[in-house]
Chain A
Amino acid sequence: NAGVTQTPKFQVLKTGQSMTLQCAQDMNHNSMYWYRQDPGMGLRLIYYSASEGTTDKGEVPNGYNVSRLNKREFSLRLESAAPSQTSVYFCASSNVGTNEKLFFGSGTQLSVL
């Protein structure tokens, strides 16, 4: 039972570099999410996808793009990384509607120098 799998676990980027965070779930969930978690702040929603083929902005979408490749996979891309994007990123999925009982991945710790 893999659940939600995120790669990579750690990444260091230089300012201006680009990268894609990968996320896959094997629970046949319709909805998938990308959150960031910063010290002293709650989890903040970056983007979400309520179903295959749809994506919507969350609370903090600037500087990010997403792709819902299929029902299983939802990727997050940083086109030109900035130090303000240093954070821990979590992918999550849910089944019934949106937000009900989120299942989270183990996170990606990203540092932008």
Chain B
Amino acid sequence: EDQVTQSPEALRLQEGESSSLNCSYTVSGLRGLFWYRQDPGKGPEFLFTLYSAGEEKEKERLKATLTKKESFLHITAPKPEDSATYLCAVQGGYNTDKLIFGTGTRLQVFP
């Protein structure tokens, strides 16, 4: 069964303290892995799409990487405004466009 697991569930960081969020997946035939950011009371906002192992994408303090089993979202020198829930989703299989979402990592960055 296709599955997405995110860890940790919650992460508290001091401003400037770099860290990584993990997204492990099992899917038959990965067609894309997506990262979204969700602020409280709002809908998810698209960050990145990764398609193949070895691919990396960056945006400001965020960098997403992909292997055959997992993806990492690296946060370098985070600021309080990076506080949010980060969601991972995978699209896989050859007969479906269905996205499978993880439960997210809730990140809090303190000044």
Given A42-B87, A100-B32, the answer on whether A107 and B43 have CB atoms closer than 8 Å is yes
Closest chain B residue to A9 by CB distance? B41
Closest chain A residue to B48 by CB distance? A101
Contacts of B45 in A (CB 8 A): 104
Q: How far is the CB of B103 from chain A (nearest CB, A)?
A: 5
Q: Within residues 67 to 111 of chain B, which ones have a CB less than 8 A from any CB in chain A?
A: 87, 89, 91, 97-104
How many residues of B are counted as interface, with CB atoms below 8 angstroms from the partner's CB atoms? 22
Contacts of B44 in A (CB 8 A): 43, 90, 102, 104
Contacts of B46 in A (CB 8 A): 101-103
A107 to B5, CA, bound (A): 24
Contact A58 B98 (CB under 8 A): yes
What are the nearest 8 A-B pairs in CB distance? A104-B43, A42-B101, A98-B97, A43-B101, A99-B97, A104-B44, A99-B99, A101-B46
* Residues of B bordering A, CB below 8 Å: 4, 32, 34, 36, 41-46, 49, 87, 89, 91, 97-104
Could you write out 29 A-B pairs with CB less than 8 Å apart? Answer: A4-B43, A42-B87, A42-B89, A42-B100, A42-B102, A42-B103, A42-B104, A43-B44, A43-B87, A43-B101, A59-B98, A90-B44, A97-B97, A98-B97, A99-B32, A99-B91, A99-B98, A100-B32, A101-B34, A102-B36, A102-B46, A102-B99, A104-B43, A104-B45, A105-B43, A106-B43, A107-B41, A107-B42, A107-B43
> What 13 additional pairs, Cβ within 8 angstroms, besides A40-B103, A43-B101, A102-B34?
A41-B103, A42-B100, A43-B89, A44-B101, A90-B43, A99-B91, A101-B34, A102-B36, A102-B99, A106-B41, A107-B41, A107-B42, A107-B43
